[in-house]
Chain A
Amino acid sequence: EPEVTQTPSHQVTQMGQEVILRCVPISNHLYFYWYRQILGQKVEFLVSFYNNEISEKSEIFDDQFSVERPDGSNFTLKIRSTKLEDSAMYFCASSEPGTGNSPLHFGNGTRLTVT
């Protein structure tokens, strides 16, 4: 069964450094998302992406964050200058074309630790 893959599984970085989290969504999916879960808290929406542009973003997704689909397969989340509070598990997800009723297919996540 096709799956969403994320790399790396764990990233440790120093505060102020830039990180890029990578995702390969399921090939025929057209909607892509990033969510995150800070330890002990709820899973939070960051951004949705469709047709090569951001369709929605949360208040968390400020100017430090950006997303890109550099080619036909990868979907990346860049954090320009990491802060301690960016430490979280970041999940990429994709969904089929159609309405917003399609289930999300999640990757295994990247655990980002900012020191």
Chain B
Amino acid sequence: ILNVEQSPQSLHVQEGDSTNFTCSFPSSNFYALHWYRWETAKSPEALFVMTLNGDEKKKGRISATLNTKEGYSYLYIKGSQPEDSATYLCAFGDYKLSFGAGTTVTVRA
């Protein structure tokens, strides 16, 4: 079992503010790092799959960076909106993903 850690466990953001949170993973034998958004009563939805050190990916107001040498990835939400409220999961591996426990983001109007 590969240890994937996410912090913080939860955070509250005021609408319009920007925020970021972390995923850390083993820095050896890197294959890919996935980010998923998981809204209540829905299925996890893929945001990004990142494979290269220094990768930066963007989808609307959400972006992610990757540092494979030190074993971390940041997810950024710019100008948070209530619809960004969800649990954000990162996962590490190839065909067998190890998930972090998630960061639950609550955006207050």
Contacts and interface: CB of A to CB of B under 8 A. Distances in A.
Contacts of A50: 95
Interface in B10-40: 31-32, 34, 36
B99 A100 contact: no
A43 B94 contact: no
Interface string A55-79: 1101000000000000000000000
Interface residues of A, number: 25
A100 B95 contact: yes
B46 A104 contact: yes
Bin the interface of chain B by size. Answer: 20 to 34
A41 B89 CA distance: 12
Nearest to B89: A43
Contacts of B94: 100-101
A102 B44 contact: no
B42 A56 contact: no
Closest 3 pairs (CB-CB, A-B):
A103-B46, A100-B94, A106-B43
Interface of B: 31-32, 34, 36, 41-46, 48-49, 51, 89, 91, 93-102
